[in-house]
Amino acid sequence: GESVGLHLPTLSVQEGDNSIINCAYSNSASDYFIWYKQESGKGPQFIIDIRSNMDKRQGQRVTVLLNKTVKHLSLQIAATQPGDSAVYFCAENGNDYKLSFGAGTTVTVRA
Amino acid sequence: GAGVSQSPRYKVAKRGQDVALRCDPISGHVSLFWYQQALGQGPEFLTYFQNEAQLDKSGLPSDRFFAERPEGSVSTLKIQRTQQEDSAVYLCASSSDNYEQYFGPGTRLTVT
């Protein structure tokens, strides 16, 4: 079946460096993608989204890139801070409401 | 404003007991979703409401799972005769447009 997945389960990054988290998806019909951040004991927190008619979107310290040719999504975090340590999920919305999540990437920020 | 709230935050049930999990969505949000998150995994869709109508329950794992939203606001997820495999975090999300979904903190259910 169709699924959304992440390339790496863990990422360790030095404080102040930039982080890049990758995600591959297989449903070419998906038209909306979201990145969520989940801290321990909390629900997923919306970070940034992008629609399929765009290839880049920027937020505060975050940028999402969408490459529809290779069905790849990435999240870039600038100047990573200790508070960025969390599990990051990409999710796709292919039928107007149901989100499909990948397994997640655990980001650990080293001081 | 207030976000999505869920109660209880933690629930321990003996196998065979019934449990009820509550979700208070963001005021005015028409859409409400329930997801199940196993340890170390991403959330998995369970069911979807638009106002009081349950439009999709395709993700409910068995007929022991039942969800309702009688007045189009608060929702309850009920699990009858709980089994150990039901142990997970149950997440509720609400949305005004079905795209940007806001999640609550979840209820961690442990079945012993």
Cβ distance A101 to B40 less than 8 Å, yes or no, reads no
Q: What's the average model confidence in pLDDT over B61-80? A: 97
Q: Which amino acid belongs to residue B30?
A: V
Check residues A41 and B2 and name the one with the higher pLDDT.
Answer: A41
Residue A2 has pLDDT above 50, yes or no: no
Q: Torsions phi, psi of B8, nearest 5?
A: -70, 170
Rounded-to-integer distance, Cα B46 and Cα B61, Å: 8
- Render pLDDT for A75-96 as a digit per residue (tens, 0 to 9): 999 999 999 999 999 999 876 6
Burial profile B44-68: b = 16 or more Cβ within 10 angstroms, e = fewer: bbbbbbbeeebebeebbeeeebbbe
Output the pLDDT for position A6. Answer: 47
Cβ distance B102 to A99 less than 8 Å, yes or no, reads no
Across the interface, of B33, B40, B42, the residue whose CB is closest to A101 is B42
- Render pLDDT for B31-58 as a digit per residue (tens, 0 to 9): 999 999 999 899 999 999 999 999 999 9
Where does the pLDDT of residue A102 fall: very low under 50, low under 70, confident under 90, or very high at 90 and above?
confident
Output the pLDDT for position B22. Answer: 98
- Chosen from B55, B103, B108 to mutate, greatest number of chain A CBs within 10 A: B103
Query: Are B94 and B27 in contact, with CB atoms under 8 Å apart?
Result: no
- DSSP-assigned beta bridge partners for residue A49: A34
Rounded-to-integer distance, Cα B72 and Cα A18, Å: 43
Output the pLDDT for position A7. Answer: 64
Chain B CB within 8 Å of residue A104 CB: yes
Rounded-to-integer distance, Cα B76 and Cα B6, Å: 10
Residue A101 has pLDDT above 50, yes or no: yes
Where does the pLDDT of residue A63 fall: very low under 50, low under 70, confident under 90, or very high at 90 and above?
very high
- Render pLDDT for B4-25 as a digit per residue (tens, 0 to 9): 999 999 999 999 999 999 999 9
Output the pLDDT for position A25. Answer: 84
Which chain A residues contact residue B93 at CB under 8 A? 43
